[in-house]
Chain A
């Protein structure tokens, strides 16, 4: 922006030039002046001017003004509490009023030490109190969900939490009740706050009114470390900080990446970390012993045993990956198996494709788009789509990947036509039929998105690092080999693979099985040798998220057993393959091959998105999907599922119900009412599920969470 388009504002005598419309709080900051705030939080929508902490004097306005509700205009002269006695008095008044009924139980408050109210009171507040009456009291703390406790006495009624619930997550579950001094925060109808993003209100609360039940009384700010890393529980890869104390993760906070997550986390990312301490966590290598179950092995013995098993298989090895390995881990494993043992067969958790790299955009572009056919919901993506809708974008239900792709590519399709005309259109797709985004890329190309920098496409993968591990595995060797039959050894990498029925089916055909997993429940009973697994919070390395952004994982805590890179490196040594145990060194090697030599250090704290790359777009799916009669079943992996979530009590109540989702039209034709039990049939197998009718589904499609879909697939019939 050129200087002529900037406005000049004077804050406490300092001139500053900012674009017109910049918030006054930000303008002051640009001038090096901090205006204290409580309720102001631009991510929650328009300022509300509730707390009155930001009172300032503006020349030409007789009354003190809430700076947070104003924007910069040319020639504005602002005097904050630093230079205006009136503003200082206003601020002191606000603080005094906030404190008259505040319990000041800082010594037992989780927020103590990192509390804006404490800090501002210390800096601006009165040293004593003039309040001599009994303070307002409430029952406290009130559990508003298994994960969140509410202390109404500490609440300063900044309405951040209710605004989040109403206008960001749009779940409408947190509300304010009563009026005036009797106002309190509550959940709607006193129901538990049951929503996928509920935990964000803990972080938004500027005082200790909303606290995490997991973190309650667990640590003090001066005894913790915050480790900047990324969430490894889904392909969004939200930027997080892991708070640790004495070698244990105590909580997960967001670390606002404005292009990825805007500082929001889903409850899985926030609360699932206690799976690190799950009761069935494996700390030592285990060997199956006849009749007695398992024996604990020393690491030396375990590596000896593993080498033995690998040797015996004579290259007839299949490696099943989870999609939660780091790029480095997958590459190291690839080096061991492929270069060391000539075992090239890897079973990837999902199909991936580089084709979408040509239509790459940051997730934040979703918010700024005008037209969005959406075929799937994913945690944080859902919030971006909601933000887009609030800004007036047209959001359309697009059907599933196959059918929708073909339909929109058709030149006669009305939505397809609008997409061709739009300069800011975004396709959001998912589903196993989508060929890892290849079909979507073909559609994007067909719609002319290649020449439109603000139009793009996202295919939502199922696993956190599916793309990263696929590329890394591929980069590990240029050789190829046949699929082994029979399978001498199945190497199962990670808990998700261990939980996958397809992998279990492979194990039936394998002579021997090695499982690398965190949890006994997933390893015991079918593995000959179990090597302890680690979590994303215990590893160094990189992940590639659904945008194609390389992000840096940092070890927050030491795992109970050596991490995978360490022993893969040792094992590889035995097969004369050199693999470093250090993520940085492994990354350098991978990067040389597939990331243009990008140095590890440059992946960075706030990772940039690599530019769009040219990739030949594949063809649209030409074969019509097996239509047949009945409804297409979309199996999906719900947010609150998977081995980690299953081990976290606070998340149990968010797990998906055994339901089948139907469109109102399909339900109506079959006479199905919401909540009724229905029978879903495919090829003679059938399941009883509860019907849920949702307007967000297109006709002809039903959805069932994979964990409740059993063997069902393809086309199904639903009947009462």
Chain B
């Protein structure tokens, strides 16, 4: 297993948030190169690279860029999704804190490729430190005359996970209530202010410079074929050395947890792994030999998602875990569509009853039925993010759910701990995020 740093290259050794340092390692050369190329030529490199989106769905970025409607007479927009709010995810934060210019260079190269003059970075509101770093970096880049005819707007969200969903992000940017839009029309045709819009994750965009620098074909060859390149894995939960690790896709799950992460502390046993953030399906220790790339994780029945690996040891009660996850989704449901709005609340009520040991047998079946009635029926993926994992918690840990019913209480008897895995929902800010001094 090799750490392979592209988006975080040299970030460990130097302060890349300083423009001069970034330029010293060859920064903004890809921009200069790209600007000498025809926009279509840049898109071709992106297509050739087979770079898949790092925001969760893994859609090939070059293809998405090539879908953008042309000749509409309207401006084309680029929106960078930096809303990173899913439990377990913190890779974008690291990239922006340690290597802000890499993202800015990526924005400028992509803007050139899609002939856009307007870039918006939609930043999670609570990321105040990131905001300051990005703001300074943007100012430096502007002063250094790197912007060309492009304007980059750094927009802070107001504390809603749903605004990471691309169409809700657009609504929010437009100043409206952050709620998803039905698709079609897709943002590539009618996005921000009804204009063609490309939306990509921070890491996706931060990977663009290296592709332009070394060529799409080069990139396509590193890592496994269907999903090449590197991903910054956010390792958290019950491991010795949590943190961000930029690895080639296809690296082993076992190596990440045990070699890089140092294994489970305090001689505890590994109980479960959530491979891609709280919205992805739980995996069990017998799946440790799964390779971490989009296809392999999917074959193992889960999703790579945003590569947020949460390690859970044997202190955790899985009913409590399911409850906490669902509480998060209930709290973050935007309330637009019926199944998610009402279903998440009902799921929480049922899970709470189960966890308290007050549930009847039929209520476990009811829980699964409610999940089933949410799955695949919502306007956006959040409903599935809430219900899908619960079904899998029950499927993989049915005994534990059953014991809550049979024993009339939690078998852990209050000893269960979710420490380091999922924060309770009251720790998610709901109040307006802190103001930035002008």
Among the listed stretches A179-187, A220-228, A560-568, A601-609, which one makes contact with chain B, having 4 or more residues with CB under 8 Å of it?
Answer: A179-187
Residue of B nearest to A92 (CB): B373
Q: Which of A346-381 contact B (CB under 8 A)?
A: none
Whether B377 pairs with A94 at a CB distance below 8 angstroms is yes
In the bound complex, how far is the Cα of B379 from the Cα of A51, in angstroms? 9
Q: Which residues of B contact A66 (CB under 8 A)?
A: 182, 379
Whether A98 pairs with B332 at a CB distance below 8 angstroms is no
Whether A48 pairs with B336 at a CB distance below 8 angstroms is yes
Whether B373 pairs with A96 at a CB distance below 8 angstroms is yes
Say if the beta carbon of B344 comes within 8 Å of chain A: yes
Total A-B Cβ pairs within 8 A: 96
Say if the beta carbon of A334 comes within 8 Å of chain B: no
Q: If A63-B376, A130-B366, A181-B345 touch, does A93 touch B332 (CB 8 Å cutoff)?
A: no
Whether A97 pairs with B343 at a CB distance below 8 angstroms is yes
Q: Which of B363-416 contact A (CB under 8 A)?
A: 366, 369, 373-374, 376-379
Q: What is the CB-to-nearest-CB distance from A52 to chain B, in angstroms, rounded to a whole number?
A: 5
Say if the beta carbon of B301 comes within 8 Å of chain A: no
Binary CB contact string for chain B from 178 to 190 against chain A (1 if under 8 A, 0 otherwise): 0001101000000
Binary CB contact string for chain A from 381 to 407 against chain B (1 if under 8 A, 0 otherwise): 000000000000000000000000000
Say if the beta carbon of B160 comes within 8 Å of chain A: yes
Say if the beta carbon of B331 comes within 8 Å of chain A: yes
Whether B377 pairs with A51 at a CB distance below 8 angstroms is no
Q: If A131-B346, A133-B346, A133-B349 touch, does A97 touch B379 (CB 8 Å cutoff)?
A: no
Whether B334 pairs with A179 at a CB distance below 8 angstroms is yes
Q: What is the CB-to-nearest-CB distance from A264 to chain B, in angstroms, rounded to a whole number?
A: 23
Q: Which of A162-180 contact B (CB under 8 A)?
A: 175-176, 178-180
Name which of A96, A131, A180 has the most chain B CB atoms within 10 A of its CB.
A180
How many chain A residues touch the partner (CB < 8 A)? 37
Residue of B nearest to A102 (CB): B342
Whether B342 pairs with A181 at a CB distance below 8 angstroms is yes
In the bound complex, how far is the Cα of B181 from the Cα of A47, in angstroms? 9
Whether B342 pairs with A97 at a CB distance below 8 angstroms is yes
Whether B160 pairs with A179 at a CB distance below 8 angstroms is yes
Say if the beta carbon of A101 comes within 8 Å of chain B: yes
Say if the beta carbon of A156 comes within 8 Å of chain B: yes
Residue of B nearest to A66 (CB): B182
Whether A180 pairs with B330 at a CB distance below 8 angstroms is yes
Say if the beta carbon of A33 comes within 8 Å of chain B: no
Q: If A97-B373, A100-B346, A133-B346 touch, does A181 touch B335 (CB 8 Å cutoff)?
A: yes
Whether A179 pairs with B339 at a CB distance below 8 angstroms is no
In the bound complex, how far is the Cα of B341 from the Cα of A6, in angstroms? 39
Name which of B182, B336, B344, B349 has the most chain A CB atoms within 10 A of its CB.
B336
Say if the beta carbon of B429 comes within 8 Å of chain A: no
Residue of A nearest to B343 (CB): A97
Q: Which residues of B contact A157 (CB under 8 A)?
A: 335-336, 338, 341
Q: Which residues of A contact B334 (CB under 8 A)?
A: 179-180
Say if the beta carbon of B316 comes within 8 Å of chain A: no
Residue of B nearest to A90 (CB): B377
Q: Which of A83-105 contact B (CB under 8 A)?
A: 89-90, 93-94, 96-98, 100-101
Residue of A nearest to B376 (CB): A63
Q: What is the CB-to-nearest-CB distance from B179 to chain A, in angstroms, rounded to a whole number?
A: 8
Say if the beta carbon of A673 comes within 8 Å of chain B: no
Say if the beta carbon of B234 comes within 8 Å of chain A: no
Whether B335 pairs with A93 at a CB distance below 8 angstroms is no
Binary CB contact string for chain A from 50 to 61 against chain B (1 if under 8 A, 0 otherwise): 111101000000
Q: What is the CB-to-nearest-CB distance from A55 to chain B, in angstroms, rounded to a whole number?
A: 6
Q: What is the CB-to-nearest-CB distance from A454 to chain B, in angstroms, rounded to a whole number?
A: 23
Residue of A55, A100, A130, A175 near B342 (CB, 8 A) is A100
Name which of A49, A133, A181 has the most chain B CB atoms within 10 A of its CB.
A181
Q: If A66-B182, A96-B373, A180-B330 touch, does A49 touch B379 (CB 8 Å cutoff)?
A: yes
For chain B, give the interface size range.
20 to 34
Q: Which residues of B contact A70 (CB under 8 A)?
A: 184
Q: What is the CB-to-nearest-CB distance from B371 to chain A, in angstroms, rounded to a whole number?
A: 11
Say if the beta carbon of A193 comes within 8 Å of chain B: no
Q: What is the CB-to-nearest-CB distance from B345 to chain A, in angstroms, rounded to a whole number?
A: 4
Q: Which residues of B contact A98 (CB under 8 A)?
A: 338, 342
Q: Which residues of B contact A181 (CB under 8 A)?
A: 330, 333, 335, 341-342, 344-345
Q: Which residues of B contact A182 (CB under 8 A)?
A: 335
Say if the beta carbon of B337 comes within 8 Å of chain A: yes
Residue of B nearest to A166 (CB): B176
In the bound complex, how far is the Cα of B377 from the Cα of A94, in angstroms? 9
Residue of A nearest to B176 (CB): A166
Residue of A nearest to B373 (CB): A93
Q: Which residues of A contact B366 (CB under 8 A)?
A: 130
Say if the beta carbon of B135 comes within 8 Å of chain A: no
Residue of B332, B338, B369, B376 near A156 (CB, 8 A) is B338
Say if the beta carbon of A16 comes within 8 Å of chain B: no
Whether B376 pairs with A176 at a CB distance below 8 angstroms is no
In the bound complex, how far is the Cα of B333 from the Cα of A625, in angstroms? 62
Q: Which residues of B contact A144 (CB under 8 A)?
A: none
Residue of B nearest to A96 (CB): B373
Say if the beta carbon of A331 comes within 8 Å of chain B: no
Q: Which of A118-138 contact B (CB under 8 A)?
A: 130-131, 133, 136
Whether B345 pairs with A180 at a CB distance below 8 angstroms is yes
Q: What is the CB-to-nearest-CB distance from A142 to chain B, in angstroms, rounded to a whole number?
A: 18
Whether B344 pairs with A50 at a CB distance below 8 angstroms is no
Say if the beta carbon of B38 comes within 8 Å of chain A: no
Say if the beta carbon of B177 comes within 8 Å of chain A: yes
Binary CB contact string for chain A from 64 to 79 against chain B (1 if under 8 A, 0 otherwise): 1010011000000000
Say if the beta carbon of A536 comes within 8 Å of chain B: no
Q: Which residues of B contact A271 (CB under 8 A)?
A: none
Q: Which residues of A contact B379 (CB under 8 A)?
A: 49-50, 52, 66
In the bound complex, how far is the Cα of B332 from the Cα of A364, in angstroms? 42
In the bound complex, how far is the Cα of B242 from the Cα of A712, in angstroms? 79
Q: If A52-B339, A97-B342 touch, does A179 touch B378 (CB 8 Å cutoff)?
A: no
Q: What is the CB-to-nearest-CB distance from B237 to chain A, in angstroms, rounded to a whole number?
A: 26
Residue of B nearest to A182 (CB): B335
Whether B332 pairs with A179 at a CB distance below 8 angstroms is yes
Binary CB contact string for chain B from 317 to 341 against chain A (1 if under 8 A, 0 otherwise): 0000000000000111111111111
Residue of B nearest to A53 (CB): B338
Say if the beta carbon of A429 comes within 8 Å of chain B: no
Q: Which residues of B contact A179 (CB under 8 A)?
A: 160, 162, 331-335
Q: Which residues of A contact B349 (CB under 8 A)?
A: 133
Q: Which of A681-695 contact B (CB under 8 A)?
A: none
In the bound complex, how far is the Cα of B373 from the Cα of A97, in angstroms? 9
Q: If A101-B342, A176-B177, A180-B330 touch, does A52 touch B335 (CB 8 Å cutoff)?
A: no
Q: If A180-B330, A180-B335, A182-B335 touch, does A69 touch B377 (CB 8 Å cutoff)?
A: no
In the bound complex, how far is the Cα of B337 from the Cα of A93, in angstroms? 12
Q: What is the CB-to-nearest-CB distance from B323 to chain A, in angstroms, rounded to a whole number?
A: 15
Residue of B nearest to A95 (CB): B338
Q: What is the CB-to-nearest-CB distance from B219 to chain A, in angstroms, rounded to a whole number?
A: 31
Q: Which residues of B contact A101 (CB under 8 A)?
A: 342, 345
User: Which 7 interchain pairs have the tightest Cβ spacing?
Assistant: A183-B335, A180-B333, A93-B373, A49-B182, A69-B182, A97-B342, A181-B345
Return 21 A-B CB contacts under 8 Å, by A number: A47-B182, A48-B182, A50-B379, A52-B378, A55-B377, A66-B182, A69-B184, A90-B377, A93-B377, A94-B339, A97-B341, A101-B345, A131-B346, A133-B349, A179-B160, A180-B333, A180-B345, A181-B341, A181-B342, A181-B345, A182-B335
- 15 new A-B contacts, CB < 8 A, other than A52-B377, A157-B338, are A48-B181, A49-B337, A51-B337, A52-B339, A64-B377, A94-B339, A97-B343, A97-B373, A157-B336, A159-B336, A179-B160, A179-B333, A180-B330, A180-B334, A181-B345
A residues adjacent to B (C-beta < 8 A): 47-53, 55, 63-64, 66, 69-70, 89-90, 93-94, 96-98, 100-101, 130-131, 133, 136, 156-157, 159, 175-176, 178-183
